[in-house]
Amino acid sequence: MVLPTSLPRTGIWVNGLDLQAPAVATGLVAELEELGLGAIWLSEGLAHDPFVTAAGLLAATHRLLVGTGIAVTYGRHPHWMRASARAVLDSYPDRFVFGTGTSNPRVVEGVLGLEYRRPLATLRDYLDDLDTPDTLRAQLGLPDSGRLPRILAALGPRALQLARDRADGAITYLVTPEHTAQARATLGPDRTLVVEQAVVVGADDADARTRAHAHVGAYLPNPGYRASWQRLGFTDADLTAPGSDRLVNALVAIGEDQVRQRIAAHIAAGADHVCLQALSAEPFTIPAQQWKLLATIDDSLR
């Protein structure tokens, strides 16, 4: 299984783009495509479905790759997930990447109001259903559309093994280049590895560090992320709110030079694509000025 879409070296990961009016969102992304932006990854939609948002962005651009990073399995029947992803993939087969996973309790329980169950077992069962032949197509006498190309959200070794065995690769989040090397070793050479990297550019040092600590601190209560960081050698002292400087410095790149260095380190460790999440001063505001700066600091974005 090899992801059929060719990824650029870097792209942008964005949270809350769907909170903008569609015309504003497509205008922002079209402008950034003109600057040479290669890819944009959408988090689970808060106001609009990410597949609908992705289709709108793809229609408004010419070369941009759009991925879901990620579309959450909870609350979506596998039939409708398959239909939504297939509709975008069939329309833009070389420009859309379907990323999915179970997300975390903060989203599933806090936002969706659903019970968050054992993530690996739940995802494995969901993939079984997602890959079941489409009975409607069979009833209509149409050929089965086949397994959806996809990447899975993964952090721990077992999740990465599942991504290796049941998908075309993995997308990781809040990780270090050391984790990227471990993920590549688990996935093997023929799976796609997409790595999210949090960044702050264009802000003074004190403001940037405040944003970085707030971002990492929001994930400190999550047991999945804590376990991931402990496997990387971080201690309970590092994981005590608001997170140690050592932890935050390892997870967030501040300033253009650090961003360049972190991209290079992830690529050297085995990442195929690094998606940069620019941290805003206010949650869910679009960091358009940071995007423009990021489009100038890495040749692969132009």
Q: Total domain count for the chain? A: 1
Q: Do the domain assignments include residue 4?
A: no
d(CA 138, CA 119): 31
Assess if residue 2 is contained within a domain.
no
Question: Which string of b and e fits 204-218 if b means at least 16 CB within 10 Å?
Answer: eeeebbbbbbebbee
**Which CATH number is 141's domain given?**
3.20.20.30
| 3 in any annotated domain | no
HEC sequence for 14-68: ECCHHHCCHHHHHHHHHHHHHCCCCEEEECCCCCCCHHHHHHHHHHHCCCCEEEE
Going residue by residue through the chain (302 aa), what tens digit of pLDDT does each one get? 567 678 999 999 999 898 999 999 999 999 889 988 899 999 987 788 999 999 999 999 999 999 999 999 999 999 999 999 999 999 999 999 999 999 988 888 888 898 999 999 999 999 999 999 888 777 888 787 788 999 999 999 999 999 999 999 999 999 999 999 999 999 999 999 999 999 999 999 999 999 999 999 999 999 999 999 999 999 999 999 989 999 999 999 999 999 999 999 999 999 999 999 999 999 889 999 999 999 888 665 44
- Threshold 0.85, pTM exceeds: yes
Q: Is residue 5 part of a domain?
A: no
Containing structural domain, residue 36? 10-301
